[in-house]
Amino acid sequence: MKKECTIKNRNKLVVFKERRSQLTIENKDEVLATQIIVDGCEITSGLRCDFMFLIKEMEFYIELKGQDINHAIKQIEMTILRLSQDRIKQKKKSFIICTRSPMTSATIQNLQVKFRKKFNSELIIQSSPYKYIV
């Protein structure tokens, strides 16, 4: 029997947590949202991020990491290619929440520009814990 990979709810706070990294998304209007466990559930092989979150016509891709930002970006890219409704047109936000970021802000800004062009996705790289309000 396949484990349930999808949870739908209207929770005001949705917490994604793995080891020491944590992202809290505040669903301030308490609209129906979908949490998807990607790693090991929705996708079981190849590179993939940890979670996907669908809310207000947007796709969120979430990778909770130690500090390997480049690997995290590859994981999110592969997940977008496999799960996104539309890799180019669909509005997306991609989160990399890390215990510490070894990169300079200039390096991160360059990655963010490339990522937005390639996937129409804002790339948010933050230290844990991080809270985002939708």
In whole angstroms, what is the distance from residue 113 CA to residue 18 CA?
27
- The H-or-E segment that residue 13 falls in is strand 13-18
127, part of any domain: yes
* Residues 72-127: tens digit of each pLDDT: 999 999 999 999 999 999 999 999 999 887 778 899 999 999 999 999 999 999 99
Token output for 34: 């979908």
51, part of any domain: yes
When divided into structural domains, the chain yields a total of 1
112, part of any domain: yes
* Residues 37-74: tens digit of each pLDDT: 999 999 999 999 999 999 999 999 999 988 899 999 99
Residue 1 has pLDDT above 70, yes or no: no
In whole angstroms, what is the distance from residue 62 CA to residue 50 CA?
6
Which residue range(s) make up the domain with 116?
A: 6-133
1, part of any domain: no
129, part of any domain: yes
96, part of any domain: yes
48, part of any domain: yes
DSSP letters, 41-92, are TTB-SSS--SEEEEETTEEEEEEEESS-HHHHHHHHHHHHHHH-S-TTTS-E
Q: What is the pLDDT of residue 2?
A: 52
What's the pTM?
0.94
